[in-house]
Amino acid sequence: MLHKKFLPLYVTSLLFALLFLAGSIQFENFGTLRVFMNLFTDNAFLIIVAIGMTFVILSGGIDLSVGSTIALSGVIIGVLLEAGWHPLPAFAVVLVLGTLFGAVMGAIIHYYQLQPFIVTLAGMFFARGLSSVISEESIPIMHEFYDDVAMFGFELPGGAWLGSSTIIALTVLVLAVMLANFTRFGGRVYGLGGDTHSAALMGVPIARTTIAVYALSSFLAALAGIVFSFYTFSGYSLAAVGVELDAIAAVVIGGTLLTGGYGYVVGTLFGVLIMGVVQTYISFDGTLSSWWTKIVIGLLLFIFIAMQRFLVRR
Amino acid sequence: MGYKDLSPLVRRSIWPLLGLAVLLLANVLIAPEFFSVEIKDGRLYGSLIDVMNRAAPVALLAIGMTLVIATGGIDLSVGSVMAIAGAVSAGLIVSGVDNIALVVGGGLLAGVAAGFVNGFLVGYFGIQPIVATLILMVAGRGIAQLINSGQIVTFHHDAFEFLGVGYFFGLPFPIVLVVIAFVLVQLLMRRTALGMFVEGVGANASASHHIGINDKLIKLMVYCVSGLCAALAGMIAAADIGGSDANNAGLWLELDAILAVVIGGASLMGGRFSVFLSIIGALIIQTLTITIILSGVPPKFNLLIKAAAIVIILLLQSPEFHRQVARLKKKRGPKHAS
């Protein structure tokens, strides 16, 4: 059943299917389960961050701090492991700190009525600055547990691989969809983004919801930092520069309205996958240079934003 | 005379100027030779000149950004536009164009074109400024790389390099360019009604529309000015290193430019603006960087200090913060019976 309110979602998933199909027709070995699964493996951390960003944007805000939060998480994990900690308690510390960081930003945004963009910009400087104060050099991570987790996964037909980061990302996705669409909190986030004033009149606790949204985004950014450290086996203060922009782009391409109040978490997944497919296409082609990725993503952003305008006007 | 008796103009100017004065004073205390300026071969040398010279690109960006922010907008693309303009000029030079007017004109044209795209999206499409300019911020670096097929182009062209390293009446040429841009924008904004239109659109776009101001055109114009300023800054950066690096030219400078405007006391919601105070803001950022270096604090603390500075300035501007402070004062016991 085609429902009009899901229109952007259809467009996004259709675009992904078309791009994947185009690649499969043009290149041998493109249209395989292996390439498809690699989209998840390579972008698991981006999926996680972009899901957090979806909630923030749904609530009518924006979070520019997520890239540096990823870097900060990696650096803290690196330092704690160097000090002889087991990764699991280190992860717990990073997740709690991340959540607190987001909550503080949310509180400043709400109580001082400041623009989310400038507050999270300060947060971005803060997290990036703190990571370089902790360590300017990349800290190598060496631990049996890391090897075990990185190796963990399931072999799928055709040499495809369902790895631990993909499993984490998909778990986050399922939980996020439930949180957004089947809980009271989710409804409040949509309400907040739709019209803050009406939401307040209808009894949405604005303060608590705003703080929770930014706490959730930073929590997921910290989790993404953990997943990111499984790829790089290091913590580096200059890691994940510009990831916040990729995440915002994925959310927009995924059909979420930047003014808030409308959009779907699943759309964001397709947004990330579309960006991944463009990248894969360019690397398969070999003659196209990597900067085309940026230009194509810019074009996609433009098309989707123009489409949003058109939809809203109607 | 108390603080409340001061005119609004003085009240707004006093904090940024005081901040700059405190920073400069701190620098003199740490390094007594800070204020000394010498003349060698008819050129001025000294830390103060150095601060102004290095602040020039951000000051130029801040001039354009001030107008954009005054209309209630924001321009995230200026860093990428710097890269594009640098790439266009460098590309023209290496492809054999020798005429300086063509080289500079090409760069400026690229900047105006970028500004036009931004302004059109914001003004006529009605897209949120953060988002509209995000498109060029992301795609702009790709475009800059496309222009020179991904190469870092180096060149030698005396007339063009003058933009970055030349001297004019004893002053480094970037400083002269900032002064020229400031005077031009100031004349345009304050000797005509344009400045009032800009502030009107920022204060209330729909009200401005109803009294007959072409709010869309005004928005288009400020983004074009911002693109122009960014192009000039980008050419200074390219001329300075004698090459164009699409990946690193102007990287993160959009944030410094926004910060400069905010330090200058402009509200991000739009409305009243002062180009002069934004330039003071750019000088404060550069002086702060020098203070950190001079005081022996490792440069890795740079970003943390900047983050703290933003939060403090934002809180100082927030009416809610003022109310909280007032409440605290009341609790301690009212001094005035009234």
Q: What is the DSSP string of A139-201?
A: EE---HHHHHHHH-EEEEGGGEEEEHHHHHHHHHHHHHHHHHHHSHHHHHHHHHHH-HHHHHH
Cα R_g (chain A), whole angstroms: 19
Of the pLDDT bands very low, low, confident and very high (cuts 50, 70, 90), residue A195 is confident
Tell me, yes or no, whether B338 lies in a domain. no
Q: Which of A27-36, A46-55, A135-144 has the largest mean confidence?
A: A46-55
- B324 and B253 within one domain: no
Enumerate the residues of chain A whose CB falls inside 8 A of the CB of residue B319. Answer: 113
Same domain membership, residue B316 and residue B272: no
**Residues forming a β-bridge with B276:** none
Average pLDDT estimate for A50-77: 95
B188 within a domain of the structure (yes/no): yes
pLDDT tier at A312 (50, 70, 90 boundaries)?
Answer: low
In this prediction, residue A158 has a pLDDT band, given cuts at 50, 70 and 90, of confident
Q: Which amino acid is at A174?
A: V
* Rounded CA separation B127/B119 (Å): 10
Q: Which residue of B has its CA nearest to A246?
A: B138
Pairing of strands B43-45, B38-40: antiparallel
- Tally of structural domains, chain B: 2
- Cβ-defined contact of A62 to B130 (cutoff 8 Å): yes
Residue B288 falls inside a structural domain: yes
Choose among B127, B269, B308: nearest Cβ to A309. Answer: B127
Q: Which of A34-38, A152-156, B9-13, B305-309 has the lowest mean pLDDT?
A: B9-13
Average the pLDDT over B16-32 and give the result: 87
CA B283 to chain centre: 10
Contact B134 A245 (CB under 8 A): yes
- pLDDT, tens digit, for every residue of B254-270? 888 998 998 888 888 88
- Contact with chain A for residue B74, Cβ under 8 A: yes
Element (H, E) at B120: helix B100-123
- The arithmetic mean of pLDDT across residues B193-215, rounded, is 90
Domain with residue A255: its CATH number is 1.10.3470
Report, as an integer, the average pLDDT of A46-52: 97
Task: Give chain B's mean pLDDT.
Answer: 88
CATH number (domain holding residue B250): 1.10.3470
Mark whether B142 and B228 lie in a shared domain.
yes
Domain-embedded: residue B37: yes
Give the mean pLDDT of A252-275.
91
Say what the pLDDT of residue B333 is: 59
Domain range for B325 is 298-332
Tell me the CA distances in angstroms from A45 to A49, A204, A280, B203, one per residue in order.
Answer: 6, 31, 17, 41
B337 located within any domain: no
Give yes or no: residues B235 and B215 share one domain.
yes
Q: Which of A142-151, B191-200, B277-286, B295-304 has the lowest mean pLDDT?
A: B295-304
Distance CA A113, CA A126 (A): 20
User: Which structure tokens are listed for A262?
Assistant: 């409308």
**Which range, A197-206, A224-233, A291-300, B301-310, has the best average confidence (pLDDT)?**
A224-233
Q: The tokens of A298 are what?
A: 């810019």
How far apart are the C-alpha atoms of B273 and B199, rounded to whole Å? 7
Q: pLDDT averaged over chain A?
A: 90
pLDDT at B338 over 70: no
Does residue A1 form part of some domain?
A: no
Residue B132 forms contact with A (CB below 8 Å): yes
Write out pLDDT tens, residues A270-295. 999 999 999 899 888 877 777 888 88
Indicate if the pLDDT at residue B12 is higher than 90: no
Residue A242 clears pLDDT 60, i.e. is over it: yes
Tally of structural domains, chain A: 1
Among the partner-chain residues B125, B128, B150, the one whose CB lies closest to the CB of A289 is B150
ipTM associated with this complex: 0.78
Task: Tell me what pLDDT residue A298 has.
Answer: 86
| Of residues B134, B136, B307, nearest to A122 (C-beta) | B307
Same domain, B178 and B309: no
CB contacts of B303 in chain A (<8 Å) are: 125-126, 128-129, 132
Contact residues on chain B for A292, CB-CB shorter than 8 A: 142, 146
Q: Give the model's pLDDT for residue B337.
A: 45
Q: For B114-167, what is each residue's pLDDT tens digit?
A: 999 999 999 998 888 888 898 898 889 889 989 988 788 899 999 999 999 999
Q: Is residue A126 part of a domain?
A: yes
Task: Please determine, for residue A4, whether its predicted confidence score (pLDDT) is greater than 80.
Answer: no
